[in-house]
């Protein structure tokens, strides 16, 4: 059996793809690069916004045609699988099996049943040990940093968000488990880990998230620790202190704001006001100046007025985020925000999004320009030059680096090298290998 996994969505889903890949490889299946070469295709889906779902259905359509020509097993995993469950078979009868996000280890059984000819095989159960996936099984992609799950699920209830439905309530991996996995990764040569959870800073696996960071940082040979993602209300003073003082924790924080208007935040059930969000950022103290900050914003949430939107632009400017991810509000099935009146025309929402993204571009450019002339450590992420001739790397601040390397020199994959920043574009920094 040859298999191909196509993953959409966040790092958590990417990492689930690595776990699913490990399970199939343990069965003796072989991983291939394209769906065309595969006997089994897994669509590891995301349903955060409608667009993400459209991509899945369009790929499913393509696979239906492929299936008419040759034998092929099609499985759907990830958040859309968990959300739609058996309804997926109605919508796309050529799907052979559906696997939920909390039943990963059931994959080999589902594949076996589907291979035996059983139709509409499904498991979307909530297995209490799903988050205790054995690290030895995970088959990691060839990346410079390793993804490590610390919590799954979300106990917040933002009114627009599908994630509490698709990922369930929070489950935390015991601290010792996380440490053992990180030690194993370092022994295999990884120098950087990214701790994952829908809300990492509510971590409660035997210690606080701030403690977990400190303990992970004690692993010899580990250089950098990142984490994603954080809810502002779980961002503590203790965590801010670790972020600012621990040299292994990278100087980067992604803290989703969603809106700069208190009225909108309230309808989103974000649990904070703008003032409280800013107060939390203030916990970073003077350490803030050495860090980069990014955020998520939703534009055109039901009832968002001109004033609400202007307030978001003001907070964007006030914080001067180094980067942000912004999207137009997308109504998700079963979420409480569906009941709110949403009468703002889509054209107006698009205008707002464009204005916000334009404003962010200016801020990001300014942020990037501050790096020009500096020499900073960056981690090499490619095995050779791209078609444009440079190597790719990232800095601790999560700046994308296009690294110019003299012929004959080979910067080591996954390791830190010194880069002199020569150029700032809105989307990357140009640099020379020192």
**Which residue is at the shortest CB distance from ligand SAH?**
296
Radius of gyration of the chain (CA): 22
Pick one of 14, 31, 32, 49: the residue that binds ligand SAH (CB under 6 A).
49
Which residues have C-beta within 8 Å of that of residue 418, sequence separation ≥ 6? Answer: 375, 376, 377, 378, 433, 434
Residue 424, CB half-sphere, CA atoms under 13 Å: how many? 16
The interface mask with ligand SF4, positions 212-241, x = CB under 6 A, is -------------------x----------
158 binds ligand SF4 (CB under 6 A): yes
Which backbone phi and psi does 173 adopt, to 5 degrees?
Answer: -80, 140
Q: Which does 164 bind (CB under 5 to 8 A by kind): ligand F3S, ligand SF4, ligand SAH, none?
A: ligand SF4
Pick one of 21, 151, 199, 367: the residue that binds ligand SAH (CB under 6 A).
199
What minimum distance in Å lies between the beta carbon of 410 and ligand SF4? 41
Token reading at 230:
């954080």
The interface mask with ligand F3S, positions 54-83, x = CB under 6 A, is ------------------------xx----
* Dihedral of alpha carbons 210, 14, 43, 40, sign: negative
Nearer to ligand SAH, 268 or 405 (CB): 268
Instruction: Based on DSSP, count helices (H) and strands (E) in the chain, helices before strands.
Output: 13, 19
What minimum distance in Å lies between the beta carbon of 412 and ligand SAH? 33
Nearer to ligand SAH, 313 or 423 (CB): 313
In whole angstroms, what is the distance from residue 332 CA to residue 169 CA? 18
What minimum distance in Å lies between the beta carbon of 153 and ligand SAH? 10
E strands in 191-322:
192-196, 224-228, 252-254, 292-299
Question: Which residues 219-238 are close enough to bind ligand SAH by CB under 6 A?
Answer: 229, 231
298 binds ligand SF4 (CB under 6 A): no
The interface mask with ligand SF4, positions 162-181, x = CB under 6 A, is -xx-----------------
264 binds ligand SF4 (CB under 6 A): no
Question: Which residues 58-117 are close enough to bind ligand SAH by CB under 6 A?
Answer: none
Pick one of 264, 298, 316, 376: the residue that binds ligand SAH (CB under 6 A).
298
Cα separation values, 69 from 4, 59, 179, 223, 414, Å: 18, 16, 48, 50, 42
Pick one of 49, 64, 67, 156: the residue that binds ligand SF4 (CB under 6 A).
156
Cα separation values, 362 from 224, 257, 425, Å: 29, 19, 11
Pick one of 145, 167, 172, 402: the residue that binds ligand F3S (CB under 6 A).
167
Residue 229 preceded by cis peptide, ω within 30:
yes
Compute how many residues bind ligand SF4; rule: CB under 6 A: 10
Q: Which does 166 bind (CB under 5 to 8 A by kind): ligand SF4, ligand SAH, ligand F3S, none?
A: ligand F3S
Q: Which does 49 bind (CB under 5 to 8 A by kind): ligand F3S, ligand SAH, ligand SF4, none?
A: ligand SAH
Work out the angle between the directed axes of helices 237-245 and 209-217 (0-180°, nearest 10): 20
Lookup result for tokens 């998700």 = 332
What are the helix (H) ranges across 27-104?
50-69, 79-84, 87-91
User: Residue 243 burial by CB count (10 A; 0-12/13-18/19+): exposed, middle or buried?
Assistant: buried
The interface mask with ligand F3S, positions 9-48, x = CB under 6 A, is xx-xx--------------------------------xxx
Which residues have C-beta within 8 Å of that of residue 10, sequence separation ≥ 6? Answer: 46, 48, 228, 229
Nearer to ligand F3S, 12 or 23 (CB): 12
Query: In sequence order, what are the beta bridge partners of 323?
Result: 294
* Dihedral of alpha carbons 410, 412, 413, 415, sign: negative
What minimum distance in Å lies between the beta carbon of 150 and ligand SF4? 15
Residue 225 near residue 249, CB atoms below 8 Å: yes
Q: Which does 296 bind (CB under 5 to 8 A by kind): ligand SAH, ligand SF4, ligand F3S, none?
A: ligand SAH
Compute how many residues bind ligand SAH; rule: CB under 6 A: 18
Question: What residue ranges bind ligand SAH (CB under 6 A)?
Answer: 48-49, 154, 160-161, 163, 198-199, 229, 231, 256, 258, 296, 298, 327, 329-330, 332
Question: What residue ranges bind ligand F3S (CB under 6 A)?
Answer: 9-10, 12-13, 46-48, 78-79, 162-163, 166-167
């Amino acid at each position: 059996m040859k298999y191909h996994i196509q993953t959409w969505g966040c790092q958590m889903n990417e990492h689930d793809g690595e776990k699913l890949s490990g399970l199939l490889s343990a069965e003796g299946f072989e991983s291939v690069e394209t769906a065309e070469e595969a006997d089994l295709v897994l669509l590891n889906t995301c349903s955060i916004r409608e667009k993400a779902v459209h991509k899945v259905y369009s790929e499913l359509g393509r696979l239906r045609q492929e299936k008419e020509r040759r034998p092929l097993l099609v499985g759907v995993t990830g958040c859309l699988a968990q959300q739609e469950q058996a309804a997926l078979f109605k919508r796309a009868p050529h799907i052979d099996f559906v696997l939920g996000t909390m039943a990963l280890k059931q994959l080999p059984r589902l594949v076996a049943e589907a291979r035996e000819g059983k139709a509409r095989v499904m498991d979307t159960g909530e297995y209490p040990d799903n988050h205790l996936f054995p690290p030895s099984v995970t088959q990691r992609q060839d990346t410079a940093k390793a993804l490590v799950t610390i919590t799954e699920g979300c106990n917040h209830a933002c009114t627009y968000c599908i994630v509490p439905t698709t990922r369930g309530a929070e489950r935390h991996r015991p601290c010792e488990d996380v440490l053992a996995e990180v030690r194993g990764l370092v022994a295999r040569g990884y120098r950087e880990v990214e701790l994952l959870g829908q809300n990492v800073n509510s971590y409660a696996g035997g210690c606080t998230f701030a403690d977990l960071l400190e303990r992970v940082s004690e692993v010899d040979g580990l250089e950098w620790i990142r984490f994603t993602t954080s809810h502002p209300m779980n961002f503590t003073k203790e965590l801010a202190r670790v972020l600012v003082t621990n040299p292994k924790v990278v100087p980067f924080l992604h803290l989703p704001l969603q809106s700069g208007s208190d009225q909108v935040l309230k309808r989103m059930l974000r649990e904070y006001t703008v003032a409280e969000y800013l107060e939390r950022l203030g916990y970073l103290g003077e350490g803030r100046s050495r860090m980069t900050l990014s955020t998520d914003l939703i534009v055109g949430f039901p009832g968002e007025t001109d004033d609400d939107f202007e307030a978001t632009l003001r907070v964007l400017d006030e914080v001067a985020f180094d980067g942000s991810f912004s999207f137009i509000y997308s109504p998700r099935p079963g979420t409480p925000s569906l009941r709110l009146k949403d009468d703002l025309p889509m054209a107006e929402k698009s205008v707002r999004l464009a204005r916000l993204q334009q404003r962010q571009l200016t801020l990001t450019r300014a942020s990037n320009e501050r790096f020009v002339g500096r020499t900073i450590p960056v981690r090499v992420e490619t095995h050779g030059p791209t078609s444009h001739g440079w190597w790719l790397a990232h800095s601790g601040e999560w700046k994308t680096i296009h690294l110019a390397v003299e012929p004959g020199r080979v910067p080591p994959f996954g390791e830190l090298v010194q880069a002199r920043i020569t150029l700032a574009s809105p989307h990357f920094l140009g640099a020379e290998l020192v």
